[in-house]
Every structure is written in C-alpha cells, then in structure tokens.
C-alpha cells in the first residue's frame, strides 16, 4: 500500500483530475439534450414555451403523449416501424448468415467469385437516380417491401459473419459431415447456434438501421401515408419547425380560443423524439459486449 | 507429340471436375445463388442505369427512343458553379468530421484507458455509445433545441457568462454551418469511434508498461512513449481508409439541419442530386452527378489502399 502511495506524484494527481473531469463533462454533454427533451415532453406545452425547462418538468402533464399516441397516423407509423424492424432483422440476419456460411466453405468452387461480387459492392454505388428508377421498375415504390428487400444481405455484415465462422473449429463441421449431415443441416444445427454472439451484433445493427431509417420512406413511399414510419413523421415535424416562425403566438392564440390543453411544435418534437429513442436506449446496453467485439471483428475485414 | 496430348487430357478433366464438384456442392449453390441474384439486381443493375447520364432521359420512353446526348450532361456539370460549391462543401465537412472525429475518439480512448474505477469506466462508455444509436432525425432535433434562440442551453450559458448580449441564431449563420455539422458529428460518434482504439490499446503488451514504470516513467510519459506509438498503425489505417470516403460521407445531417439561409454552405452531393434529379426532374443530369461522385470515390478508395500498402500497413481491401 505504501509502495503504491509513493507513485502518486503531482503529475498523477493532475492527470486524474483531467481524466475524471473530461469524462464527467462528456457524460453531461451526452445526456443533457436527452434529459432536457424528456423533461419538455412531460411538461405542459404552453408552459415550456416560456422557457426555463432544464432537467425536470415544471408543470407535469401526460397530455403530450396522450394527444400524440391517439393520433391514428402516429399509431400506424409506429406499427410500420416495428414491423419493418422485426422483419428486416429476422430476414437479414438469417440470409446473411446463410450466405456467409457458404462463402466460408473453402471447398466451395464459387466461393472466390461470389465473395468478389459482394466485396465490389462496397466500392461502387449506382447512385440515387438509377436506384430510384430500379425501385420504380421493380414496383417497390409505394410498397412496404422496399423497407426489407434491398438491404437483405450487405457486404459489410457478410464479411463480419464470415470472419466469425472462419474462426470456428473446423472439426465440429467435419464431424457432422462424417455423420452424414447435409450442408443446410450443418448450417442450421451447428453453425447458427455457435454464431450467437456475432448474430446478436448484426441483428442489433440491422434493427437500429431500420428503426432509424427515414430516407427510404421519403424517397419511395412518401405519397402513401399508410406506409409512413415514425422517423419520417418526426422528420416532417422537424422540417415544418425549421420553416415555422411565431409558433408561440399560434399556440397562445389557440389557448386563448378556449381549449384548455394545447400542444406546440416543440412539444410534439420532444415527445416524438422520446418515443423513437426509448426502444433503442433500452436495448443497446444489453448487447454491448457483443457489438464491441463485433466491431473489432469488422475492422479486420478480409 | 507428347505435350498436346497431355494438355488435351488435362483441360477437359479440369473442366469436368469443376462441374462435377459444383454438382456435388449443389446445396451450397442453392443456399447462396438466390442472394447473388438479389445483390446483382439491387447493386449492379443501377450501374447499368449510368447510361441515363448520356441521354436526355425522359421516363416512359423506351431505352432506344431516348435522345442520346453524349457527354453534354458532364459538360453542364463542370460548367455549373453550384457543382464547385457542392464539391467544396462536401470536402470541407468531410475533412472537419474526419480530423475532429479521429482526434476526439483517440483522446477519449486514452482518457478511458486511464480510469481505474471500473464501474465509472463502464458507465461512461455505455453512455458514450448512446448517441451513435439514435437517428440523425433525432440528433438534428436535439441540436436544434440546444442552439435555439428561445431557451436553447448554448445561448443561455453564453449569456450567463456575459459572452453575448442577446441570443444568436447559430443555425442561420452560413459560416458556422460547417462547424455545427462537425461538432454535432463529434457529439454523436466520439464514443463509438473510441471502441476500435480501446481494442488496440487493450492488445498492447503489459510488459512494456512495467518496464517503463521500472525505468521511472510516469503515466503521461507512458501514454506518450508506449500507448500512442502502439496504436499508431491503426490510426494510420483508419485515417487512410476514411480518406477513401471523403466524397461519400454524410448527407442526412446536412439535409436535416440546413435551411434556406445556409444552403450555400450546406449543399452536399446527395442534396444536389435530390434537388436536380427528383425536384427538377433533370434525371440525366443528376445521374451524371452520381457518376462523378462514385468514380472519384472509387479512385480515392484505391489510392488509399495503395498508399496504405506502400506504407507497409495491412491491406484494407
């Protein structure tokens, strides 16, 4: 103990001070915007417009949530967001793992060619307009499946899973083959269960990307409100807020007109932000050990 | 006469063995071929769509009925002053993001590595990942609130500190736009970016630190003489790799935070393509923009790869 004390020089003390202050500063800067938004979402909309809401609501209300969640458009958009996220995650993870397995078989004669076809897509990009016309030509505009189909298997995910499969003991697969198991059986019964950590990582990446996506809705499905997603609805509110001035007066006049409860664009944005953020904030900490590992795997590439 | 016979024997055998092996591996083939077709449809057919750039494309007409205009669209592109503005904006914001993103992530990794209280370290790390997982739509909302003129915390703090007299409309100042993009990018990605450096730091041989301690090196000197040199290869790799993406990075952030006042500093390639292609229906021109971006990006990626190889680093491709 005494020996350790001796190492606590003045330099160490300053270093510790710098380290802990910076980290605390980072934590505050990261969390404040979220906590502030949370407070605004639970605060009376008109009261928020007066300013001065920081970390806790001043005039607590559930009205913002009530009025948003009872709007059928928001309710429907939540349904579409959940549906696309669930379907994409299931299809993507399974398909990517299956292709990754075939491309990890050293004896597969088309392995090099197929791998090349995938890797090349990381470096070339058809661009916005040709892709738009392709989707149109395939009938994927005004179509739910444009959320799921195009990104089914992507090169990055494929490489991450394949790298993982390559690291599995070959003897397990050999033994199953000696027992007469076919390739598909080996994949489903042996490889898939062993891949759980990397599949959790990929599933998280795919789920987050789908949950967060708004550009595909904007580009392909914006004319059909039945196919709108939560992120796109939030984006629309943000865009109107960008161009709207005098929202305060508007809200105040509405209040003066006799309605007891009012909702302002700021309150709508805050409430929707909380609604789309909470699912992510709840899920990702539990998958942390997987994605930290998965990311370092992805960095290795080939 | 001997060799031709031998060759004649070898070649058909090889061919036969390829098809025979493939037949044996038909399950593997069935498992992968639907997805190969899928990737060809969704990633390679759009490249065929590049022909649009050489036409005066109008939807509804057949491929052969289109008016072919050669390189006219590219000539227009290179004569359009907006194009140079877009190029400048894209490069400026990408470089700001690259430099400050990497510097902040490396610094954070070094700082996290110095924390000895495990629970504090873990909590700070978990929190630092949160912004990475939220969408730019949410992040843009938060940035807008932080910088707002009525009650935004940035204006309030600056006014409390008497640095400014009255609230500033930060998002309306063209010269500030690049830096707001840079700062919000750092805010969102600093924790996530640190993961890879932390992994690199974790793989440093602990004997090096012990030896340095015995030689009397303090913590700062250990960081400077051991940690930093040890993660230098990965820093170089990531720097070069990201340089390949200078033209293809970012769009959502700019699109969601821009407004009419700052558009001259906010317009990046995808916004340019959207405005001309979808809004103004100049499909062929917008395709030419996309081709320019793709081709230059490809050249950059391969140049980056070559550079990394020349420097004796691990190959990226």
Give residue limits of the domains in chain B: 2-68, 80-138+169-310
Cα–Cα dist B135/A272, whole Å: 12
What is the pLDDT confidence band of residue B18, given thresholds at 50, 70 and 90? confident
A250 touches chain B (CB under 8 A): no
Which residues on B lie below 8 Å from A288 (Cβ)?
126, 129
The residue assigned the tokens 């579409």 is: A80
Q: Give A53 to chain B, closest Cα distance, Å.
A: 8
What is the pLDDT confidence band of residue B289, given thresholds at 50, 70 and 90? very high
**Predicted local distance difference test score (pLDDT) of residue B65:** 79
Residue A300, pLDDT > 50, answer: no
Of A76-90, A153-167, A247-261, B49-63, which one has max mean pLDDT? A76-90
What is the ipTM, given to two decimal places?
Answer: 0.88
Residue B63, pLDDT > 80, answer: no
Of A79-83, A160-164, A165-169, B204-208, which one has max mean pLDDT? A79-83
**Predicted local distance difference test score (pLDDT) of residue B66:** 83
Q: What is the largest CA-CA distance in chain A?
A: 81
**Predicted local distance difference test score (pLDDT) of residue A248:** 46
Residue B315, pLDDT > 70, answer: no
What is the pLDDT confidence band of residue B203, given thresholds at 50, 70 and 90? confident
- Tell me the per-residue pLDDT of A18-54, one tens digit each, with 9 for 90 and over: 999 999 999 999 999 999 999 999 999 888 888 888 8
What is the pLDDT confidence band of residue B313, given thresholds at 50, 70 and 90? low
A296 or B138, which is more confident: B138
What is the pLDDT confidence band of residue A301, given thresholds at 50, 70 and 90? very low
Q: From the list B108, B190, B273, which residue is nearest A129 (CB)?
A: B273
- Among A93, A122, A127, the strongest candidate for a mutation testing the B interface, having the largest count of B CBs within 10 A, is A127
What is the pLDDT confidence band of residue B100, given thresholds at 50, 70 and 90? very high
Binning chain B into helix, strand and coil, the percentages to the nearest 5 are 80, 0, 20
Return the CATH number of B80-138+169-310, one of 3.30.465.10, 1.10.3720.10, 2.40.37.10, 3.40.50.150: 1.10.3720.10
The string of DSSP letters for B54-123 reads GEE--TTS-TTTSEE-TTHHHHHHHH-HHHHHHHHHHHHHHHHHHHHHHHHHHHHHHHHHH---HHHHHH
**Predicted local distance difference test score (pLDDT) of residue B86:** 95
Range of weakest confidence among A163-172, B54-63, B169-178, B263-272:
B54-63
Of A124-133, B8-17, B59-68, which one has max mean pLDDT? A124-133
Cα–Cα dist B79/B128, whole Å: 45
Write b or e for each residue in B269-304: b if 16 or more Cβ atoms lie within 10 A of its Cβ, otherwise e.
Answer: bbbbbbebbbeeebbbbbbbbbbbbbeebbebbeeb
What is the pLDDT confidence band of residue B16, given thresholds at 50, 70 and 90? low
What is the pLDDT confidence band of residue B131, given thresholds at 50, 70 and 90? very high
Q: What is the largest CA-CA distance in chain B?
A: 97
Q: From the list B137, B252, B298, which residue is nearest A124 (CB)?
A: B298
Cα–Cα dist B247/B87, whole Å: 8
What is the pLDDT confidence band of residue B306, given thresholds at 50, 70 and 90? confident
Q: Using an 8 Å Cβ cutoff, are B286 and B273 in contact? A: yes
Q: Which residues touch B306 (CB under 8 Å, ≥6 apart)?
A: none
Cα–Cα dist B267/B90, whole Å: 8
Note the helical H segments in A70-127. Answer: 72-104, 111-120
Across the interface, whether the CB atoms of B135 and A214 are under 8 A apart is answered yes
Q: Nearest chain A Cα to B274, which residue?
A: A128
- Tell me the per-residue pLDDT of A246-296, one tens digit each, with 9 for 90 and over: 444 455 555 555 555 677 888 889 999 999 999 999 999 998 888 887 666
**Predicted local distance difference test score (pLDDT) of residue A264:** 81
**Predicted local distance difference test score (pLDDT) of residue B58:** 82
Q: From the list B31, B130, B274, which residue is nearest A128 (CB)?
A: B274
Q: Using an 8 Å Cβ cutoff, are B171 and B149 in contact? A: no
Range of weakest confidence among A269-283, B2-16, B230-244, B249-263:
B2-16
What the block records as the tokens of A285 is 């900490």
Q: Using an 8 Å Cβ cutoff, are B32 and A110 in contact? A: yes
B246 or A294, which is more confident: B246
B144 touches chain A (CB under 8 A): yes
Q: Which residues touch B85 (CB under 8 Å, ≥6 apart)?
A: B264, B267
- Chain A 106-135, CB below 8 Å of chain B: which residues? 107-110, 114, 117-119, 121, 123-134
Across the interface, whether the CB atoms of A150 and B144 are under 8 A apart is answered no
B9 or A50, which is more confident: A50
Binning chain A into helix, strand and coil, the percentages to the nearest 5 are 75, 0, 25
Return the CATH number of A68-300, one of 3.30.360.10, 1.10.3720.10, 3.40.50.300, 1.10.10.60: 1.10.3720.10
What is the pLDDT confidence band of residue B7, given thresholds at 50, 70 and 90? very low
Residue B3, pLDDT > 60, answer: no
What is the pLDDT confidence band of residue A57, given thresholds at 50, 70 and 90? very high
Residue A125, pLDDT > 90, answer: no
Percent of chain A with pLDDT strictly greater than 70 = 87
Across the interface, whether the CB atoms of B35 and A20 are under 8 A apart is answered no
Which residues on A lie below 8 Å from B316 (Cβ)?
301
- Tell me the per-residue pLDDT of A170-229, one tens digit each, with 9 for 90 and over: 898 999 989 988 999 999 999 999 999 899 999 999 999 999 999 999 999 999 999 999
**Taking residues B291-314, what's their average pLDDT?**
83
Q: Which residues touch A213 (CB under 8 Å, ≥6 apart)?
A: A147, A229, A231, B135
Which residues on A lie below 8 Å from B129 (Cβ)?
284, 288
């Amino acid at each position: 103990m005494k020996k350790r004390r001796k190492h606590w020089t003045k330099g160490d003390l300053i270093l510790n001070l710098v380290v802990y202050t910076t980290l605390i500063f980072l934590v505050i800067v990261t969390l404040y915007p979220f906590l502030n938004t949370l407070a605004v979402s639970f605060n009376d909309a008109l009261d928020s417009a007066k300013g001065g809401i920081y970390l806790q609501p001043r005039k607590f209300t559930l009205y913002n949530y009530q009025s948003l969640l009872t709007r059928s458009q928001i309710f429907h958009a939540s349904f579409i967001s959940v549906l696309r996220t669930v379907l994409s995650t299931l299809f993507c993870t399974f398909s990517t793992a299956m292709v990754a397995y075939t491309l990890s078989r050293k004896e597969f004669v088309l392995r090099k060619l197929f791998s090349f076809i995938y890797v090349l897509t990381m470096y070339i990009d058809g661009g916005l307009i040709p892709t738009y016309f392709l989707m149109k030509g395939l009938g994927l505009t005004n179509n739910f499946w444009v959320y799921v189909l195009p990104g089914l298997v992507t090169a990055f995910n494929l490489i991450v899973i394949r790298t993982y499969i390559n690291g599995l003991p070959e003897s397990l697969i050999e033994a199953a083959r000696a027992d007469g198991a076919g390739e598909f059986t080996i994949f489903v019964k042996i490889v898939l269960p062993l891949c759980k950590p990397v599949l959790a990582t990929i599933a998280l990446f795919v789920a987050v990307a789908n949950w967060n996506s708004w550009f595909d809705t904007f580009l392909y499905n914006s004319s059909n409100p039945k196919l709108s997603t939560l992120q796109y609805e939030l984006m629309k509110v943000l865009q109107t807020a960008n161009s709207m001035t005098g929202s305060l007066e508007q809200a105040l006049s509405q209040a003066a007109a006799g309605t007891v409860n009012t909702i302002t664009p700021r309150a709508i944005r805050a409430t929707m932000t909380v609604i789309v953020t909470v699912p992510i904030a709840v899920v990702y900490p539990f998958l942390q050990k997987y994605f930290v590992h998965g990311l370092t795997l992805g960095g290795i590439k080939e | 006469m001997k060799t031709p016979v031998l060759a004649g024997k070898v070649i058909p055998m090889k061919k036969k063995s390829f098809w025979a092996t493939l037949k044996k591996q038909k399950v593997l083939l069935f498992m992968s071929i639907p997805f190969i077709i899928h990737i060809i449809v969704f990633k390679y057919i759009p490249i065929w769509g590049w022909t649009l750039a050489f036409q005066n494309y109008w939807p509804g007409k057949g491929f052969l009925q289109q008016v072919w205009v050669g390189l006219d669209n590219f000539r227009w592109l290179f004569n359009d002053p907006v194009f140079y503005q877009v190029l400048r904006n894209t490069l400026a914001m990408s470089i700001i993001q690259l430099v400050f993103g990497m510097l902040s992530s490396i610094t954070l990794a070094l700082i996290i590595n110095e924390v000895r209280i495990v629970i504090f370290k873990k909590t700070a790390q978990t929190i630092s990942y949160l912004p990475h997982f939220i969408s730019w739509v949410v992040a843009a909302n938060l940035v807008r609130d932080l910088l707002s003129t009525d009650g935004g915390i940035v204006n309030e703090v600056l006014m409390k500190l008497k640095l400014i007299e009255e609230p500033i409309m930060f998002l309306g100042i063209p010269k500030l736009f690049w830096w707001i993009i840079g700062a919000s990018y750092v805010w969102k990605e600093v924790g996530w970016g640190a993961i890879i450096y932390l992994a690199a730091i974790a793989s440093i041989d602990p004997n090096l630190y012990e030896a340095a301690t015995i030689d009397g090196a303090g913590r700062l000197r250990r960081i400077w003489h051991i940690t930093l040199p040890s993660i230098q290869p990965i820093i170089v790799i990531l720097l070069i790799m990201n340089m390949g993406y200078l033209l293809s990075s970012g769009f959502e952030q700019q699109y969601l935070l821009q407004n009419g006042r700052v558009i001259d500093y906010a317009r990046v390639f995808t916004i340019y393509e959207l405005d001309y292609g979808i809004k103004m229906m100049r499909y062929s021109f917008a395709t030419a923009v996309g081709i320019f971006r793709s081709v230059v990006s490809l050249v950059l990626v391969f140049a980056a790869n070559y550079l990394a190889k020349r420097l004796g680093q691990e190959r990226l491709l």
